[in-house]
Amino acid sequence: MASATPSPSAEAGRAPAGAASSPATSTADRGRAAARLGRTSGVRRQLLRRLRRLTPRTLQARLTVAFAAVVAATLVLVATFVINRVGAYFDQQQEDDLLARAGGVAQYVVLIAESTSSVRAGNPVVSATGVVDPAVVLELSRSSQQQIMADHLAQSDVEVQVGLLVGPDKTFEPAANGAFTVKEVGQPEPGQTREHVTSQPVLVEVTSATVPYGVQVSLLDPYTFRASAMANLVGLLLLIGVIALGIAVVVAATLARRFTTPIRRLTEASRDIGEGDLARRIPPGSVRAGSTEVAELGLQFNTMAERLQESVETIRHDRDRSREFLADVSHE
């Protein structure tokens, strides 16, 4: 069978063509890259021009914006610190409140267990083998009791575990039939919102019983006032910040105008002198409103203007005398 093997001459003929196409391809790539770079540079220049248009032009406006920016930055930092600290305080208050609610539910469970007829007859709430008395289980399973625990005492979903206290250190061991989960179905109070958190479990030990037992309660997704309190705090800080920023802008504009008015007077006087009004002066009262440096500048400007006027008048007087002298000489 004949094999199609390319001849060396054919390979040699194709090599220059490939070599010739590589520089062309690289040149096209460089051209596209340069075009993309040019478009990016054009966009940047347009953005810079727009930013320059938004930048204040006058010194008064720049001073006002700078002062207002400093005040705004200070307000943001203070508000962040306040929200952080108050938020931590609210978190601690919420944790304490949830622990108190869980403790109240646990005490209520103990009250229900101790008030059942079977326990009053002398049977333990939890037997030594780790089984909760059926009468206690029945009472805790009643919807009326669960509604009191979840809707009124806890205001959240509730996990209840009843078990033994084992050993000298009273280690809690849940009973096999002692776990109860109660869903909260009541309406929250005005201002309450549901928080997706789980409280720390609260254990109430009953060591005075024939068989010591304990009740452990955890709250899930409780209703709290934390979110509404934080929202009120943020709204109050925002209102205070807007008012403070408005006052800062007014004060900054007033101070900037007070500082820039003498500079504007100097500019106007310089323009008038340049147009030939050599008698133009800056009233001392108009520059005293500014800083000491500006007042000194106004004083030196008036001194310069007086000397300039005297020099020009001297030159004019000498010119007039020269003209009179030449007229007399030509007449004679």
Report pLDDT digits (tens) over 113-172: 999 999 999 999 999 999 999 999 999 999 999 999 999 999 999 999 999 999 888 899
Instruction: Give which of 189, 180, 179, 184 is closest to 221, Cα–Cα.
Output: 184
216 neighbors 161 (Cβ within 8 angstroms): yes
The DSSP call for residue 207 is -
Q: What is the pTM of this model?
A: 0.64
Instruction: Give which of 195, 234, 219 is closest to 87, Cα–Cα.
Output: 234
Report the amino acid identity of residue 159. E
Report the amino acid identity of residue 51. L
Report the amino acid identity of residue 214. G
Q: Is the pLDDT of residue 318 over 90?
A: no
Could you identify the residue written with the tokens 């460089």?
Answer: 30
pLDDT of residue 119: 92
Rounded Cα–Cα distance for residues 161 and 157 (Å): 14
Rounded Cα–Cα distance for residues 253 and 249 (Å): 6
For 159-187, write each residue's pLDDT tens digit. 999 999 998 888 999 998 999 999 998 88
- Which residues fall within 8 angstroms of residue 181, CB to CB, at 6 or more apart? 157, 158, 159, 160
Rounded Cα–Cα distance for residues 25 and 19 (Å): 10
Rounded Cα–Cα distance for residues 177 and 175 (Å): 6
CA 96 centroid distance within chain: 28
219 strand-pairing partners:
158
Look up residue 56 and give its two tokens. 């204040």
pLDDT of residue 324: 77
Number of Cα atoms under 13 Å in the Cβ half of residue 124: 21
Q: How many CB atoms lie within 10 A of CB 4?
A: 4
pLDDT of residue 332: 63
63 neighbors 259 (Cβ within 8 angstroms): yes
130 neighbors 163 (Cβ within 8 angstroms): yes
Phi, psi of 115 (to 5 degrees): -95, 0
Cα→Cα distances 46→38, 63, 127, 158, Å: 12, 26, 82, 61
Full DSSP string of 30-97: HHHHHHHHHHHHHHHHHHHHHHHHHS--SHHHHHHHHHHHHHHHHHHHHHHHHHHHHHHHHHHHHHHH
Angle at CA of residue 196, ends 191 and 197, nearest 5°: 110
**Bridge-based pairing state of the strands 223-224 and 171-182:** unpaired
For 11-60, write each residue's pLDDT tens digit. 444 444 444 445 556 676 676 776 677 667 667 777 777 766 767 677 77
Could you identify the residue written with the tokens 């009120």?
Answer: 232
Summary mean pLDDT of the chain: 83
Rounded Cα–Cα distance for residues 288 and 261 (Å): 10
For the chain, what percent of residues have pLDDT higher than 70? 85
Q: Is the pLDDT of residue 294 over 50?
A: yes
